[in-house]
Structure 1
Amino acid sequence: MPQSRMQLVVTGDDFGYCARRNQGLVECFLSGGITTVSLLVNGSAAPQAAELAKRHNIPIGLHANLSEGVPVCSGLQLSSLVDHRGLFHGKMGFRRCLERGQLCLTQVEMELRAQVRRFIELTGQHPQHMDGHQHVHVLPGVRGVFAQVLSDLSIPFTRVPVEAGLHSCPWIPPPLRSFYSQVERDALDSIPVFTKYSLRWPDAYLGLSTMGQNMSVSSLQRALSHALSAQSPAGPPLSAELMVHPGYPSLPGEGGCGEGPDDFSRSAERQHELTVLTDPGLDALLQREGVQRCSFRDLRS
């Protein structure tokens, strides 16, 4: 086996979304496909997910959610964070409200702290890492509140979604490419804020170019090659996080965070990711490239 070139945290997002998502993520962890999970504490199957994490000793962090479903904080059912139905504004709706100055950042902080408390109630531990569902944690204004909460609660690791080689992916449709480009700009602007609060994140990030149907052993090899190209030959192994969403398709009306499962969750793309992540060909690729899968706690040294 070649010398280790990369420590790769493979994070399965949306743990707790539904029972079928939980099942797929646990299977993927037990087979070695993922190394950690991010929990949606307002997910309909969050209690089951927390119990499964305990049973199988799965490293677990918090997938902070400000955009889908219902708030965890009991005082925010009528607030700037929700619409007339009492639901978060959605991935793009949250961004529009933020741009218009319609969101109260004090309420954002209240909800983030409530989600950490709920995480501790469910799991019996502090999050090993904390990132944002649909990348809301890197948005202007939100990023500062988010960093303050992580600093106050001694949560060391977060996510900075800037992926090398993303702009040379012709298979990503223009609307999604535009969204990813904005996520990248917001993430780059978050780095000074996260640095100010002494937060940590891996050296490289992967996962936007390999989501859903775009995931394959060859697309993962491409993403890894782009990340490894920045490594110094004489330097220590690069650290990286690969964001993934394996599972089984949600059944209609089952799951979600308070308003049922979305289209991506009901599609076969989740199961496709599960198949790729447990493909022996991926293990062979990682061995050839000198990539060792690990969890965030292994990056503490």
Structure 2
Amino acid sequence: MMHGKLGIRYELDKGSIQQEHVEYEIINQFNRYKELTNGQLPKHIDGHQHIHVHPMIVESVARLAKQFGINYIRVPYDQMVITWNANNLFHNEIVNQTKEAMKIFNKYALLYCDYFFGMTTMGKEFTLNNIEKCLKILENESKKNLLIELMCHPGYPSDPLVGGCGIGQPDAFSQSIERQHEFDILSS
């Protein structure tokens, strides 16, 4: 059963989803990926809506990633959330869960980027000015050759009659004009 972005977190928090079911789903997704790619495994893992950093999932994801030989994982620790999006409870929850998840990822020697940006620059907030603000925090970084991930969702809005993401018909995200905006910024 699909619970949605917040529903899955609620069900995990109240303990109604069993750990063995989580692991079963992860293994099945890895195996399905292999089927679709002639035996290849993904190079990295990231969970839809960052579910892979949830405390009830993170240990299983990390252990199974290592078991399957997947060494890279997304770490959505967007430091800009703390200053720009302090009132966005969902983004703050993700950042806080990510801080804890990083300890587990380190335990399993999973690799991840040095900096992650994107939660504060989605949609209409995806501007050159905002991207420059994110990059500005790197000015005092002493490490050379930083690995930086900029999360974005460029694309064309789905036609409600043709298809896209969602069950039955495209969801609001698939139809959002903000995807076109991100595409236009990236290709400018």
TM-score, scaled to structure 2 = 0.93
C-alpha distance in structure 2 between counterparts of 1:147 and 1:258, whole Å: 29
- Indicate the percent of aligned positions where both proteins have the same amino acid: 36
CA apart distance, 1:103: 0.5
2:82 to 167, 170, 187: 167
C-alpha distance in structure 2 between counterparts of 1:248 and 1:135, whole Å: 23
C-alpha distance in structure 1 between counterparts of 2:168 and 2:96, whole Å: 30
**Structure 1: which 5+ residue stretches go unaligned?**
1-81, 83-87, 280-301
**Structure 2: which 5+ residue stretches go unaligned?**
none
| Residue in 1 that maps onto 2:141 | 231
Equivalent positions of 1:1-301 (< 5 A) are 82=1, 88-124=2-38, 125-169=40-84, 172=85, 174=87, 177-226=88-137, 228-229=138-139, 231-232=141-142, 235-252=143-160, 254-256=163-165, 258-279=167-188
CA apart distance, 1:119: 1.2
Relative to its length, the structure with more strand (as a share) is 1
CA apart distance, 1:259: 4.2
TM-score, scaled to structure 1 = 0.59
C-alpha distance in structure 2 between counterparts of 1:276 and 1:223, whole Å: 16
CA root-mean-square deviation:
1.5
CA apart distance, 1:245: 0.5
C-alpha distance in structure 1 between counterparts of 2:126 and 2:147, whole Å: 21
C-alpha distance in structure 2 between counterparts of 1:90 and 1:230, whole Å: 39
2:42 aligned counterpart, secondary structure: coil
C-alpha distance in structure 2 between counterparts of 1:111 and 1:230, whole Å: 42
Total equivalences in the alignment:
186
1:199 maps to a residue whose letter is: L
C-alpha distance in structure 2 between counterparts of 1:230 and 1:145, whole Å: 35
1:245 maps to a residue whose letter is: H
Relative to its length, the structure with more helix (as a share) is 2
2:72 aligned counterpart, secondary structure: coil
